[in-house]
Structures are given as structure tokens and as C-alpha cells.
Structure 1
Amino acid sequence: MSDALVPPDGPIGAQPETPVCARHADRPTRLRCTRCDRPACPDCLREAAVGMQCVDCVGEGRKSGRRSQTLVGAEQTEGRLVVTPVLIVLNALAFIATAVQAGNPLVNQRSAIFAETALQPVLVANGEWWRILTSGFMHIGIWHLVLNMAVLYIAGSSVEPELGRLRFTVVYFLALFGGNAAAFYFGNAGGWLAGASGAVFGIMGALIVVWRRKKRDISTVVVIVVINLVSNLFTNASLLAHLGGFVIGGLLTLAMVRAPRENRNLYQIGAVVAAVVLIAGMFALRANDLMNLMGI
């Protein structure tokens, strides 16, 4: 038997009792979470910015951590579209309803639904204000619908993820109202107006602003917008509605993008309110003029 002295902590090479994983009591481990310092087996650890963290700490970090934001302050998403396809479906359903009622998709504007929902300035001034909204879901012929929805999907695929669902919806509908307001205020009092073109042009205006801010090439989009606007001079399409929607959509998005980080939401709400006041004022002034002309 050796007379060598034994260290007080035990023989050299002896190991203290190995701790077990905080989640698995049957798994001894010498690994620890760098955040909570609890023992954790390899299956319970995840790579983190610094060291390895247990799955519990990773979950807590996701709940408390803030997601990155887009140019306008919207929460960054994975790019999955929601509002754009919903709008396309609503427009398609409205067209199907008019086509079925008319008995022919090429002359769906002959349906009673179309007659009750399309925008006609005199009727709007006489109290049928719902037409300002419903006319944006009416289309004259299937190709009118297909073209608008194709452009909406292409532009919306880039704009909706950047603006976020709420802001995208606001820009879409204010562009729709802005286009109708321009045609209502400056256009022919006896004409009819239908289609989502004003809203779609508003989204294209938003696309130009977003891409310009992100330093992407906007030349193709600008050329498409110019060609469409020029073509309006040779068709029955409403140049005023397209221009009105484009201006409102572009300026509103510009205000959202350029809003300072401090009080960003307040500035953006202010821009929306200003657009609403402008559009409502145009409708009110023109309606009053038309009522006076009709002697009502």
C-alpha cells in the first residue's frame, strides 16, 4: 500500500458528479446554456450569436425580441401575400356576378349590379355615395379585369411586403378614392366610371417610391406607367382616374417612407388624414356644384 499523500479533494484525475440536462434528467452533460447557465445536453442547445443557448432561452428570446422593420416601419415578414390575393379574389367575384347576370362576360356592364354600383357623378351627387367604393370593383369586360389584376399582383408582390398589410390596404383604397375623386371633380358629369385602375396605378406609384428608396432600377416601371397613361388618350379609359390614383398612391407612400423614425406613426397618420381631407373635399365641392347645376 502506497504512503503517498492524497489531495484533500480526492485523488488526481477524480471527477465530481456530472450534472444532468435541465430538460432530460437521464442525460449527464457538462455543457451549459450561455444565457441561463443551466446544464443542457446537445439536443437542447441551439447556436446563438454568442455561444450556445438552450431551447427555452431561444424561445424566450423570440417572444421578447423585436423583429426587423421595413422602410416604413412595418414588421418584416417572410413576404407571404395576404391583401393582394384577397383584393384579386374580390374583384374576380364581382366580375363573375355581373357576367352571370348579364349572361355574357364580354358585356357584363349590361347587368343590373353594374348599373347600381358603377360611378356616375350625377347619381353620386344625388346621394348614392357608395358608388365611390363599389365602382372600384366593377370592370368592363374580362380583359379589363385580367389586365388590372395582373398588374396588381406584380406590383403588389413587391409593395405589400414593404408597406405591411395595413399600410398597403390604406394606400390601395385611398388611391382608389383619389382616382375616382379626380375623375369626379375634373371629368364629365354624365360619364360612367368603373375599374380598379386608379388603385392599381396607386400601387405602381408606391412601387416606384419603394424601389427608388431601395436604389433599385425603376426605369421599366416608369416606362410601363407612361405607356399606359399615353394609351388612355386613344381609348375610353379614364386618364384622370389613373393620374389621380397614381399621384395619391405615390405621394402617400413617399410620406410613409420619408417619415422620421421618431413619431413615425404619427407622421404617417397625418399624411393619411391629409389625403382623406383632400379627397373628401374634392367630392364635396364637385357634388355641390352638380347639385346647383341640377337646381336641387
Structure 2
Amino acid sequence: MSVEAAPVCYRHTDRESHIRCQRCERPICPDCMKSAAVGFQCPECVREGQRSVRQGRPLNFGPSGPVVTYALIGINLAVWALILIAPSVAHLLSLHLADYCSSQGYPRLGFDSAGCAAYGGTFAPGVWHGGPWELITSAFTHQQAWHIATNMISLWMIGPLVEQALGRWRYLVAYLVCGLGGSLLVVAAGPQVGYTLGASGAIFGLLGILVVLFIRRGLPLQQLGSVLALNLVLTFALHNVVSWQGHIGGLLTGLAIGALYAYTPLGRRRRILQR
């Protein structure tokens, strides 16, 4: 009866080995065992894996920090403070699909600007009736303290990651475009009565950008995916009090921006996007 020889390390043939690389299945000795996500790999497979994964840069903003994120938070807080002083400002900046008259804290429908003024109210034109600025300004408008607190905490946590990945000016443009995308879906599918406001659409857009960048760079999605899934569940569970159209519109816009930035083929268009 013949006895099969014990396997030996492929790099050290004088060493018996009963452990195999999880990637190439070659025998490896303890000196060649490199810890991997599952089991152990040989040094060559570890180096090959490191070359195939694009490494993200550390968050290093220099002495000034993520200034665009700080500026966006500051603008939102300044607008909120102005609304506390003059509540009627909220109606001028919020997104209205139809002309809106607010008098003594109550909405009054069917009034033009003259009729609203006669009632002593504040008139806000519909977005297509002379108020196109509302598509953007609504993303900087909050009324309740809990609303601006949750949005600004989210922006403070997510914004620096996107600002580092895209660069300051591209990040600023992406934030505004995501807010615009949320507003456009509100216009297309939102209620015809009332108004919407808040930075949630833009923040959902930043989440969408991060999801695409994580996928492109081979980074784990467990935590980010859990955050996004939780926010989507809350969006639809609370659809009577939040604008799901704004959230989904911002998210879809962010996914599109992330894909455009991350997957544009190398060449002139890529250089323009990443300049």
C-alpha cells in the first residue's frame, strides 16, 4: 500500500502544510498565511487583491476642514433663524405647486396676490406661476426644530464624505442638483395643495452618491446600506407627514450623479468631470 506524501508549502517546499489559500488553493505554511475576510490567503493573492481594489483617500481636508458642508449647514441655520423672526418667510421660500395664501396661520386657497393682501395674508406664487426659485430655496427651508436638527446632523455626518470624494465645487453642485431633483419629482407627482420644504431630498441624494462610490471602490455597504434602508422605510411609513417624492427624487438624482462621476469612461469627458 502506497502512502500519499503530505502537502508542502508552495513557497517553502521543506515545510509540511495542511492549510490552503482560500483564493488559489495552494498549500501555505504559517509564515505565508495572510488573514483575509474568509480564512487565509497566500502573499501573492493578497497583493493581487490589493492592486484590484481602488483605495480611497483618507479624509484630509487640510486646516480649513469640509468648508462647503459647514457653509451649507450655516445657510440652513440662518434661514431657519430668519423664519423664527419672520414666519412668513417660510411660505416665500417653500415649494408650492399652486398659488398659496397664508393668513393668520391658516392657508386660504383661491386667492391671488391682491386678494391675499386684502386678507392681510402672505402670498406665495406657485412654482410655475412666478416662483421658480422655490425649486432650490425649499431645500434650505425648515420650520420645526426637530426637522432642521435631524437634517443638519445627517448633513454633518454624510456631507464630508461626499465633499472629500468629489471635491468642493463638484460637491456643492451635486448638493444643489440633488435638491432640485427632489423638487422636480414633487412637482411631477406631489400633492397640488400645500407646500413642501426641507433639505431631506438633497441629503438623500448625497446618500445615493455614496452608495455608487462605495460600489465602484469595492467598499463594504453594510452600514451605509442599513442607513439608506432605514430612511426609505421611514419615508414610506411616514408618507402622510413627509414628502416621499422629494426623498426619492433626491435619491435617484444622487444615484445618477454618482454613476456619471464614477463610471464615465476614461478620456476627455472623465477629465472634465473630475477636474
| Fold-level similarity (TM above 0.5) | yes
Q: Secondary structure of 2:266's partner? A: coil
Pair 1:219 & 2:206 matched:
no
Q: Which residue of 2 aligns with 1:232?
A: 235
Cα distance in 2 between the residues matched to 1:175 and 1:139: 17
Q: Which residue of 1 aligns with 2:89?
A: 113
2:143 to 126, 140, 145: 140
Contact 2:95 2:127 in 1 (8 A): yes
Contact 2:59 2:161 in 1 (8 A): no
Aligned-residue offset at 1:213:
1.9
Contact 2:83 2:143 in 1 (8 A): no
Greater strand fraction, Structure 1 or Structure 2 = 2
Runs of at least 4 residues of structure 1 off by over 6 A? none
Aligned-residue offset at 1:265:
4.3
Q: Which residue of 2 aligns with 1:152?
A: 155
Q: Secondary structure of 1:215's partner? A: coil
Pair 1:78 & 2:54 matched:
no
Pair 1:194 & 2:197 matched:
yes
Q: Normalization by structure 1: what TM-score?
A: 0.59
Contact 1:212 1:218 in 2 (8 A): yes
Q: Which runs of 5+ in 1 are unaligned?
A: 1-70, 102-110, 270-296
Q: Secondary structure of 1:189's partner? A: coil
Aligned length: 187
1:117-128 equivalences in 2 (<5 Å): 117-122=93-98, 123-128=126-131
Q: Secondary structure of 1:209's partner? A: helix
Pair 1:205 & 2:188 matched:
no
Cα distance in 2 between the residues matched to 1:254 and 1:76: 21
Q: Which residue of 2 aligns with 1:92?
A: 77
Aligned-residue offset at 1:261:
2.5
Contact 1:156 1:203 in 2 (8 A): yes
Pair 1:248 & 2:246 matched:
no
Contact 2:206 2:254 in 1 (8 A): yes
Cα distance in 1 between the residues matched to 2:130 and 2:270: 34
Q: Which residue of 1 aligns with 2:22?
A: none
Q: Which runs of 5+ in 2 are unaligned?
A: 1-53, 99-125
Indicate the percent of aligned positions where both proteins have the same amino acid. Answer: 28
Cα distance in 2 between the residues matched to 1:77 and 1:237: 33
Aligned-residue offset at 1:226:
1.8
Residues 105-144 of structure 1, C-alpha deviations (whole Å, 9 max, x = no match): xxxxxx1100111101121121111111111111130111
The structure with the larger Rg is 1
1:257 to 254, 262, 266: 262
Q: Normalization by structure 2: what TM-score?
A: 0.64
Q: Secondary structure of 1:260's partner? A: coil
Residue type of the partner of 1:251? A
Contact 1:159 1:210 in 2 (8 A): no
Q: Secondary structure of 1:125's partner? A: coil
Cα distance in 1 between the residues matched to 2:194 and 2:246: 12
Greater helix fraction, Structure 1 or Structure 2 = 1
